[in-house]
Amino acid sequence: MTAKERRELEVNQKKEVDTRAGEPTRAGVWYVPEVDITESDDAITLYADLPGVRPENLDIDVRDDVLTLTAEVEPISENRKLIWREYDIGGFQRRFTLGERVDQAKINATMKDGVLTLTLPKAEEHKPRKIQVS
């Protein structure tokens, strides 16, 4: 097994939101979701892992050039008995500072299988363009 294959098999532990930077405003445990970010000529796309989150329990807010994701996970139903737990249940929260390159009015969000996909279109003036030579 190569070193790369071993890294791919390692389990990442959830990182708890650091509340030392300020007082928490919500009760409970909150985690920082893992994200992947890609870029194309037209947009920046953010993929956030939010296991156990239903779309109706997800809040995406853009204010003062800051994109905030807040998601709550519902606890296990009372009529089910927990027999094994590998991670704690808790909500997710993460903030991203948006630059002038993003057209904030056109941000789009979809959720499928616990993965949030946010498409952040680039503002027209920041898209690459070809200049014709005459």
CATH number of the domain that residue 105 is part of: 2.60.40.790
**What pLDDT, on a 0 to 100 scale, did the predictor assign at position 75?**
78
Q: Once rounded to an integer, what is the mean pLDDT over residues 54-74?
A: 93
pLDDT at 11 over 80: no
Q: Say if 96 falls within a structural domain.
A: yes
Determine the structural domain holding residue 108 and report its residue range. 31-75+86-123
Which residues, 6+ apart, have CB-to-CB distance to 79 below 8 Å? none
Give the confidence band of 6 by pLDDT, cuts at 50, 70, 90: very low
The closest alpha carbon to 73, from 1, 14, 134, belongs to 14
Give the DSSP letter of residue 6: H
What is the per-residue pLDDT across 14-26, written as a single tens digit (0 to 9) for each? 566 654 444 456 6
**What pLDDT, on a 0 to 100 scale, did the predictor assign at position 15?**
62
pLDDT at 36 over 90: yes
DSSP 74-111: PPPPTTS-----SS---EEEEEEE--TTB-GGG-EEEE
Q: Say if 8 falls within a structural domain.
A: no
Q: Say if 11 falls within a structural domain.
A: no
Q: Say if 54 falls within a structural domain.
A: yes
Q: Say if 118 falls within a structural domain.
A: yes
Give the integer Cα–Cα distance in Å for 91 and 16: 10
Q: Once rounded to an integer, what is the mean pLDDT over residues 88-96?
A: 88
Q: Say if 24 falls within a structural domain.
A: no
Total domains in the chain come to: 1
pTM above 0.95, yes or no: no
Percent of the chain with pLDDT over 70: 79
Return the top range by mean pLDDT from 11-15, 21-25, 65-69: 65-69
Give the confidence band of 30 by pLDDT, cuts at 50, 70, 90: confident
Q: Say if 67 falls within a structural domain.
A: yes
pLDDT at 111 over 50: yes
